[in-house]
A and B are shown apart, each in its own frame.
Chain A
């Protein structure tokens, strides 16, 4: 296995190309030691190769492995459940069959498919979607119920599939950053940083400290907006309207801070390859800090009401619980994993960019239920808020901020071309988005063009977690469980 760190590009030839048995053995060994699957995909030219990238959070390193396969290979899933969705994706995209995969069903393709069904006198099935009751993205949910209890939930996605990864490769370079920013619109900054840092790694460019801090501010604002919004929505799902109303407004206030930075509430245009597309002066920094302080004060008050209301806690506690073992087996990431006592956070495990300057404590809870997921998100928005304030007060005064390929010349911005990427190389970038680990993997061809681009949104890891959390729950608790994960459909479907 080739070990490397985030931010270093690796020649493809340096990643060992193993016989499949060796490949599987190394993967199993690493995961038994605590590694997790970051990305797993196949490249198919004349021959097909499997690429597996594993994360070693305790060492802060990434491991890369390759295996040459023919039209099929023995599935890794029976021994490594967290590979199940990756193997289905490889099959759907390339036709390479993981022999012995326990359930080789569609990932994004919408087709006639027999859902798992219970049989018996008291059993019934509830089908929901793709069009849902609220203003939500589309997906199809099949609940197999016994009375009011959910025995099994199957989630079928793909309705948001619009071909992001293919477009990144096939379309002109100027479209790429916008494709990445809309891979999951609520994780615009997370995906934009992952993309930019993959390309910066491949072209050996380092953004200056000021750009890194501005990216950090944007990423933490994104986290805060979503966590605060979801805490309000969780309150709404249990019928506790004060926190719902207050947090609805406060989430918007945080989005408006992002808009003060870049003109867009979702942070579009902040992150650009090579740096950032915007800058802020002392006046704007002071204004942001002042407004953020007030938002934090109001949010603390609004969220504290949740922990002060027995009727809320009664609904949160022991609802949708996952054990630590299940979460590890499924390979959950982000707050959903941390709520199961798994102390993993890209910001701490693979620190890069702004997180090399400031350490944000990892927020963990052990219960694995809605309560724990809410608690983790409460702790996280607070710590993000404190960190953003610290950064705003201590902005590095490094030189002007540029995005790559654009230079200031006599006051005019000039295009100097697209970044030159190292040929036949790979870069893996990791970002702790608000839902968890965002992983982008870029592979270049012999001429330094992009040959393959793989996005793994945290939702890709976490959707199976939601399905498991519903087992044995009342079907009426689905909205609450769902919101406690609040996973992305478009980030999964791409």
Chain B
């Protein structure tokens, strides 16, 4: 007993200060990606490397997601391409695109604030610079930034980096859930990484219950359903039944690339390809898996407890 008390004193207070202060995340953490149309020369390397076809370079007459099949030379492509886009709902945050990009047009910021109420909100877009001179200027600028920081993360001008907006529930729903929300979690074909990083919210590091949010065993007691995984065909019925067993009003949160779009398993005949193929979803939280802070911030933003939006992030 005395040893336990002694340990308690030694182990100390470990709960992070969020939402007053953001916890320090690892320097190599890949958060919200930032696209820079001024630097993109539409070479398509990122499109080719992306494992989940999350990235597209589009222009008039160019097929969606079929960029690499376009026979046009890189110069022609650079002139007809007008938009670079990245779908956070498919993104694994593997960083392959950032590595592949020769001109630094894609950069993963350190922001964990990500999520959207509708899938369209997960699609990041930027217009491309149209002229060759603009491209070469941007290239030079990009190179100089990279030289200065030599190996460290290039600091981008703040104006180009934005957090994502998660719109809070309406006043009626906030009155019901705002101060106490019970969560039922269903793992439906996931790899157990999303589940692990939801579980971690219950540890003393995050202490979910201080926000009035708790995980409950029964769907009958649940206000919110957290879905992880691409929804395997074998879990389709169980997910639907769990949803149906929850009392109204209820909300559904899709956690992770699999639950949003099927993720790396999208297209497999053994999965449905995301939670919203089976039940309506109110909030999408991207990541593979999402950082626990992304999940916590997303839930609190939905409840109107923190601003879902933050500018000036790097």
Contact = CB atoms under 8 A, between A and B. Distances in A.
Do A and B belong to a common assembly?
yes
Contact of B99 (A183, A252, A266, A413): A413
Contacts of B203: 245, 248-249, 251-252
Given A159-B235, A162-B265, A265-B197, A302 B11 contact: yes
B296 to A, nearest CB: 13
Given A135-B198, A174-B51, A266 B193 contact: yes
B204 A245 contact: yes
B193 to A, nearest CB: 3
B195 interface: yes
Chain A contact patch, size range: 35 or more
Contact of A265 (B51, B234, B291): B291
A185 B217 contact: no
B28 A261 contact: yes
A255 B293 CA distance: 14
Interface string B96-134: 100110100000100000000000000000000000000
B268 A162 contact: yes
A268 B288 contact: yes
A133 B7 CA distance: 31
B293 to A, nearest CB: 11
Contact of B187 (A136, A179, A413): A136
Interface in B157-213: 185-200, 202-205
A57 interface: no
B305 interface: no
B249 interface: no
Contact of A269 (B26, B94, B230): B94
A314 to B, nearest CB: 16
A121 interface: no
A135 B185 contact: yes
B270 A489 contact: no
Contacts of B100: 413, 415
Interface string A160-203: 11111011000100110111001111101000000000000000
Interface string A280-297: 000000000000000000
A488 interface: yes
B238 A130 contact: yes
B282 to A, nearest CB: 19
Interface string B59-77: 0000000000000000000
- B50, B215, B270 interface centre (most CB from chain A within 10 Å): B270
Contact of A136 (B8, B51, B92, B195): B195
B193 A185 contact: yes
Contacts of A185: 190-194, 196, 289
B49 interface: yes
8 contacts: A131-B186, A133-B218, A134-B215, A138-B238, A160-B190, A174-B48, A175-B52, A301-B7
